[in-house]
Homo-oligomer: A and B are copies of this chain.
Amino acid sequence: MSSDRIIYLPLGGAGEIGMNAYVYGYGKPGKERLILVDLGVTFPDMDSTPGVDLILPDIAWLAERRDRLEAIFITHAHEDHVGAVGHFWERLGAPIYARAFTAHIARLKMEDHGHSAQTVKTVQPWPYMVEAGPFKVGFVPISHSIPESSGLAIDTPQGRLVHTGDFKIDATPLVGEPFDTALWEEVSKPGVKALICDSTNVFSPHPGRSEATLGPQIEELVGQARGMVVTTTFASNVARVKTLAEAGVRAGRSVCLLGRAMRRMIEASVKTGVLEDFPSTISPEEAAQLPRENLMLIVTGSQGERRAASAQLARGKYNGMVMKEGDLFLFSSKTIPGNERGVISIMNQFSEQGVDVVDDSSGTYHVSGHANRPDIEVMHRLTNPGVVIPMHGEHRHLREHVKLAETLGRKGALAVNGMMLDLSGDEAQVAEYVDTGRTYVDGTVQIGALDGIVRDRIRMALNGHVTVTVILDEDDEMLGEPWCDIMGLPETGRGNASFVEALEEDLSQFIGRAGDKTLTDDDKLEDGLRRVARQTAMNEIGKKPEVTVVISRLA
């Protein structure tokens, strides 16, 4: 088959929530011209990625085909959609298109990595469309939890695709464009070949609530508070920051923003004109002069991040501010799975300070930025696509979303990262499987997820580490005794005897027994020393540590 085809290939975001990166292509098989939608990051955790700073998708497939890449489109400015542009731009080298607010954030990221900000082009929204090889791409405003979020209308010679980006259906989102049903009807009118659709909240059965429902409830809560009120949400959730600030002002309080990300995001919003009428705020220095019952702080750290303002307030102080008995702390946010321990730890620290903590467990002070199941159904109905391809979800979300599409009488196709679909026919068909994975930003270096580096760190964390040093002379005779150093292991083992001494004695005996074949062969000797060290450790302390063996030969 050598006729032109449309392909869809997720490199990230399909099979996980995070590091979104979706490739579309059009042309003859193997020669398609390509575009990339979003280029985001995801975040490490101690369980599986200790010491890692940031996780990026593996874009090797695309980088090898950079001559075919026409453009990169960023749907909105969340880190999981835009966070990797600076890290990867050198390897891709295509122009980046986004709407003004998103472009502003993308440019900051490009500059952070020493790239030209001019590579990022600001695009007007629909009906304007960017031409990129065989594609025409329009940014269709859609409601989400950050300004100027857009779905993409992606026109190919074989018809239109709709890529929703992240979205919810909110007629009164307060910041950013309301969801415009007529607009989406218009976009869908020519027929939609495939809907590539956000799946995050497919398991949430009730229609989503509007951002506008929160203000009065937050105002009431703040109005009843006796001491200082501190609230947190995602810094990028500009609408929420505005909702919180307005509620605070209506409750008669002065508002102070704390945390670099919070101030940077609000500044970006004001500068790009997406945030109007934000209440005037005061500086931390001014805040320090006010009676605490007249004060509301809006701070970073809704996920319990150790260095953010909320965690620092929980531990003591931040920017000169200190929490006191009778203060109120409000999480206007949902805890992302995996962050529970950090958030709960902060809650308990506040409790020790006598601070009342209110979280989202009542469902009163937070609404999600993603479409719940009934709202996903609305999107299916509006676009009425030939096939629904779920994205932005773990496997369980994608699978449930396919089932939902089929329940509603449409075709659905489940594609996870690395699964290339051919969208040309009536059915979405698997065209190819592509190697994908994760790249770690580790300090200043990029490392592969399968390099074994992080695996070794996890093993050291679980098993501890022993260094074994042996010196051999010219005649392969041991000089002195084997020497052991331990890290992350107990000093004494069975019967309260010295663990290091037990190791050294067993290693010494091993060398004493070892023949020339072992003593003259570094690999054999190293293997033997490691085996003995691990066995002795097992006997003495019930663990098998990681072992570094250093053999020095005096020549």
| Contact between A442 and B483, CB atoms less than 8 A apart | no
Q: Interface 1/0s, chain A 448-491, versus B by CB < 8 A?
A: 00010110111011111101010100000001100101011110
A445-B492 Cα distance, complex, nearest whole Å? 8
Which chain B residue shows the least CB distance to A466? B548
A344 near B337 (CB under 8 angstroms)?
yes
Instruction: Please encode chain A, from 326 to 357, with 1 for each CB lying within 8 Å of some chain B CB and 0 for all others.
Output: 00000000000110110010011011101001
Is the CB–CB distance between A464 and B471 below 8 Å?
no
Candidates B357, B362, B487, B542; contact of A456 at CB < 8 Å:
B487
Stretch at the interface among A68-76, A371-379, A391-399: A391-399
Asked if A552 is at the interface (CB within 8 A of a chain B CB), the reply is yes
- In contact, B348 and A442 (Cβ under 8 angstroms): no
Q: Which of A351, A447, A541 is most buried by chain B, counting CB atoms within 10 A of its CB?
A: A351
Given A348-B394, A396-B348, A493-B445, A548–B467 Cβ distance below 8 Å?
Answer: yes
Rounded to whole angstroms, the CA-CA distance of A70 and B340 in the bound complex is 40
User: Does A521 lie at the interface of the complex (its beta carbon under 8 Å from any beta carbon of B)?
Assistant: no
Which of A45, A337, A457 counts the most chain B CB atoms within 10 A?
A457
Does residue A43 face the partner (Cβ distance < 8 Å to B)? no
Write the A435-447 contact mask toward B (1 if CB under 8 angstroms, else 0): 0000000111101
Q: Does A494 contact B (CB under 8 A)?
A: yes
Given contact pairs A337-B340, A396-B348, A550 touches B467 in the complex (Cβ within 8 A): yes
Give complex CA distance A225, B538 in Å: 47
Give A432 Cβ to nearest chain B Cβ, in Å.
19
Is the CB of A50 closer than 8 A to any CB of chain B? Answer: yes
User: Which B residues lie within 8 Å of A362 (CB)?
Assistant: 205
CA A325 to CA B210, docked complex, whole Å: 38
Is B443 a contact of A541 with CB atoms below 8 Å?
yes
Contact partner of A457 (CB less than 8 A), chosen from B338, B461, B548, is: B461
Q: Is the CB of B357 within 8 A of A543?
A: no
Cross-interface CB contact of A341 among B47, B51, B203, B471, cutoff 8 Å: B47
Compute how far the CA of A443 lies from the CA of B548 in the bound complex, rounded to whole angstroms: 20
* With A47-B47, A454-B488, A479-B554 already in contact, 6 other A-B pairs whose C-beta atoms are closer than 8 Å: A46-B461, A203-B361, A344-B394, A348-B395, A469-B469, A469-B552
Q: Looking across the interface, which residue of chain B has its beta carbon closest to that of A50? A: B461
14 A-B pairs (CB sep. < 8 Å): A347-B396, A350-B396, A351-B398, A351-B399, A442-B542, A443-B541, A443-B542, A444-B542, A445-B542, A451-B490, A460-B461, A479-B554, A485-B548, A485-B550
Given contacts A351-B399, A394-B344, A469-B469, contact A548 B487 (CB under 8 A): yes
Q: Is the CB of B50 within 8 A of A462?
A: yes
Q: Is A546 at the interface (CB under 8 A from chain B)?
A: yes
Is B483 touching A444 in the complex (CB atoms < 8 A)? no
Interface of A is mostly: mixed
Q: Show the binding face of A for B, using Cβ within 8 Å.
A: 15, 45-48, 50-51, 203, 205, 337-338, 340-341, 344, 347-348, 350-352, 354, 357, 361-362, 394-396, 398-399, 442-445, 447, 451, 453-454, 456-458, 460-465, 467, 469, 471, 479-480, 483, 485, 487-490, 492-494, 541-543, 546, 548, 550, 552, 554
Q: Lowest 6 CB-CB distances: which A-B pairs, in order?
A: A443-B542, A444-B542, A461-B461, A457-B488, A50-B461, A443-B543
The chain B residue sitting closest to A493, CB to CB, is: B445
A51 near B344 (CB under 8 angstroms)?
no
CB distance from A272 to the nearest CB of B (A): 32
The complex places the Cα of A465 from the Cα of B545 at a distance, in Å, of 14
| With contact pairs A469-B469, A543-B51 given, residues A460 and B488 touching in the complex (Cβ less than 8 Å) | yes
A351 with B445: CB separation less than 8 A: no
Q: Bound complex: CA of A6 vs CA of B408, how far in Å?
A: 67
Q: Are B344 and A453 in contact (CB under 8 A)?
A: no
Q: How far is the CA of A518 from the CA of B47 in the complex (A)?
A: 41
Tell me, in angstroms, the Cα distance from A373 to B48 when the chains sit together: 37
Cross-chain contact B442 with A543 (CB below 8 angstroms): yes
Q: How far is the CB of A368 from chain B (nearest CB, A)?
A: 14
When distances are taken between beta carbons in the complex, the residues of chain B under 8 Å from A50 are 46, 458, 461-462
Report whether B395 and A351 are in contact in the complex, using a CB–CB cutoff of 8 Å. Answer: yes
Question: By the criterion CB–CB under 8 Å, are A487 and B546 in contact?
Answer: yes
